[in-house]
Structure 1
Amino acid sequence: MTSKVTPGNRRVFICGSALRGQPDHQNLQGAQFVRTAATQPRYRLHVAGEDWHPAIYETESSGISIPGEVYEMTQEQFDYLAANEPPNMYPVEVHLDNDETATAFLYPKALIDEYNLPDISNTYGGWAAYKARTATV
């Protein structure tokens, strides 16, 4: 069952440093929290930017479900978020666990391969769990 989005707004899937409790949450500029969510198991999760942000890409095999949060954003909030994303991130529609789609920021697979970014897809259970676990190590 899908809920309606206010005209002119969009749904955005957050799964990294802008999650609640993470250092870049203020980049959402007060966007309305809709629900916790997860992607369909079509993605991989890597560590980029010297442990600063996740690098996610869609894959045809060996994908996992990535946990996160869905927010409803105005165009102004989305533009602010996009302007504050790390280099090389790009917006694209991702497939969520309830068959909805939402915009998320992914990272080019070619750069993940080029820089041999660590794959944490099957290790921590998402970005927030990774950050919590590595903060205490």
Structure 2
Amino acid sequence: MNNTTLLAVNGTLMRGLELNGNMTAAGGVFLREDHTDPHYRLWSIGDRHPGMIRVAAGGTSVALEIWELPLASFAALLLSEPAGLAIGKVTLRDGNQVLGVLAEPWLVDNQKDITAHGSWRAYTGHFYSA
């Protein structure tokens, strides 16, 4: 039995950002940078964190990070996420699916659409260098 899962993150849980400590405290291990397939839109939620939703048309490929996370700490990490963010299946550009952080549709109402930026990092200017 596998005691870990892959988790795609596109916002403040990423390396060097505000809530990355929650990811590492939960035992998360960074695996790689990746992108979604071109069916996602991205919003800035009050300029605090992004919200990403899969769409049928008008989407783009969103940059994200893939982490390996122990199943035993998965729930604790989710409980630390802001309201309106949930876990769903995210399709990567290679067609594989992994669990990922997605926004509930109500969360993006009247928020700033930042899809054209392609990522939270590009929108905020907070790039990571190891």
TM-score range, shorter chain: 0.7 to 0.9
1:87 correspondence with 2:80: no
Q: Where does structure 1 lack aligned partners over 5 or more consecutive residues?
A: 1-5
Supply the AA of the counterpart residue of 2:5.
R
Partner of 1:118: 112
Matches within 5 A, 1:31-110: 31-48=28-45, 50-110=46-106
Q: Find the aligned partners of 2:97 and 2:44 in 1 and give their Cα distance.
A: 24
Supply the AA of the counterpart residue of 2:21.
Q
> Percentage identity across aligned positions?
28
Partner of 1:3: none
Q: CA RMSD in A?
A: 1.5
More strand by share: 2
Work out the number of aligned pairs and report it.
124
Supply the AA of the counterpart residue of 2:43.
H
Runs of 4+ in structure 1 deviating by more than 6 angstroms, as ranges, are: none
Q: Find the aligned partners of 2:123 and 2:108 in 1 and give their Cα distance.
A: 18
Q: Find the aligned partners of 1:95 and 1:128 in 2 and give their Cα distance.
A: 20
Supply the AA of the counterpart residue of 1:68.
L
Q: Find the aligned partners of 1:62 and 1:85 in 2 and give their Cα distance.
A: 27
Partner of 2:122: 129
- The Cα offsets for residues 10-54 of structure 1, whole Å up to 9 and x where unpaired, read as 100011011111111011124111111010011100011x21110
Q: Find the aligned partners of 2:103 and 2:118 in 1 and give their Cα distance.
A: 19
TM-score (norm 2): 0.88
1:27 correspondence with 2:14: no
Q: Find the aligned partners of 1:110 and 1:24 in 2 and give their Cα distance.
A: 22
